[in-house]
Amino acid sequence: MSDEKIFSLGNRWFTWSVGAVVGVALLGAMVAFVWLPRAHAQATLESLWDAICSAAGAPAPFQGAALPGPGQRNPSGVIVSAYMMGAAGSNSVGNGATLAMACTMCHGARGTSPAGTPHLAGQPASGTYKQLRDFASGHRPSAIMQPLVANLSDQDMRDLAVYYASLERERIAAVEPSDTDTPRLVRNGDPMRAIGACSSCHSPHAERPATPVLEGLSEVYLPEQLTAFRDGRRSNDINRQMRNAVRSLTDQEIAQLSRYYAGR
């Protein structure tokens, strides 16, 4: 039998085989990208598009921005964009340095914390600014931070953020870990659980506004925040990207991710 006859629509075995393969592929895609993300007990996906994006690990800009429903409020009062900070004024760093003197007890004299609080040195200004605004507005509750930022103006918060972004971040490890040392969730995520790769947002190449640098953060602070997102105690992530990303993580996985990023 010639190749022409084998690969012909007139060959019913060829037609059925191709049809079966296509059918299985479509069924698998529906299960992986639609049913599994929506079947999770803690799923908070608003649409079919959100489910597909979440399963594929797509960053939040490719997902629709869901408006809050009746009785709900926005997760943050800050509109995140690549241009949200604007151009820093000539006095921003100096004013920020003065304001930061009140922050040294917890965040260190140079933005590197000796305790379990986050390092601020080298963090993107947009990320620090957003968190300060969320603390002030109550979108990110904190009995410690809310009183401290209550009297800061919007410009004060911007100046603080610009100052800390200007500081050099201390590196914990002298050698970058190899791919074999990198947790699978960091590299690839887990599409079967609708978990995107951590590196799709938290990497030097992602350049996403208001997204923190995780490398070198405390092994105490990181699991606290991941667990808070997972359990719904923290909810100032726009489009729920963090809550959706960590909702299926186990305590062991959170500990592994925290050790990995804390050691970099």
Backbone angles phi, psi at 249, to 5 degrees: -70, 140
- How many domains, in total, are found in the chain? 2
Q: Is residue 87 part of a domain?
A: no
Spatial CA neighbour of 135 closest among 154, 122, 109:
154
Which residue range(s) make up the domain with 124?
A: 92-166
Q: Identify the domain boundary among 110, 141, 166.
A: 166
- Note whether 100 and 161 are same-domain residues: yes
CB contact at 8 A, 222 and 26? no
Q: Identify the domain boundary among 117, 136, 166.
A: 166
- Note whether 142 and 193 are same-domain residues: no
| The pair of three-digit structure tokens given for residue 4, joined into one six-digit string | 């022409």
H or E element in which residue 262 lies: helix 251-262
Q: Identify the domain boundary among 132, 166, 200.
A: 166
- Note whether 180 and 207 are same-domain residues: yes
Indicate if the alpha-carbon torsion angle 210, 211, 215, 220 is positive or negative. positive
- Note whether 187 and 248 are same-domain residues: yes
| The pair of three-digit structure tokens given for residue 162, joined into one six-digit string | 């610009």
Chain centroid to CA 229: 10
- Note whether 144 and 183 are same-domain residues: no
pLDDT of residue 75: 85
CATH number at residue 252: 1.10.760.10
In Å, how far are 27, 62, 146, 218, 244 from 59, measured between CA atoms? 25, 6, 29, 25, 12
Q: Which residue has the tokens 């592994």?
A: 256
The overall average pLDDT reported for the chain is 83
- Note whether 159 and 178 are same-domain residues: no
- Note whether 198 and 234 are same-domain residues: yes
Q: Is residue 228 part of a domain?
A: yes
pLDDT of residue 174: 45
- Note whether 66 and 184 are same-domain residues: yes
Helices 154-166 and 125-137: angle between axes, nearest 10 degrees:
140
Of residues 206 and 45, the one with the higher pLDDT is: 206
Backbone angles phi, psi at 223, to 5 degrees: -65, -30
Band of pLDDT at residue 203, cut at 50, 70 and 90 = confident
- Note whether 250 and 224 are same-domain residues: yes
Q: Is residue 155 part of a domain?
A: yes
Q: Is residue 58 part of a domain?
A: yes
- Note whether 208 and 249 are same-domain residues: yes
What's the whole-model pTM score?
A: 0.72
- Note whether 211 and 246 are same-domain residues: yes
| 36 pLDDT more than 90 | no
- Note whether 185 and 111 are same-domain residues: no
Least confident segment among 116-120, 172-176, 196-200, 242-246: 172-176
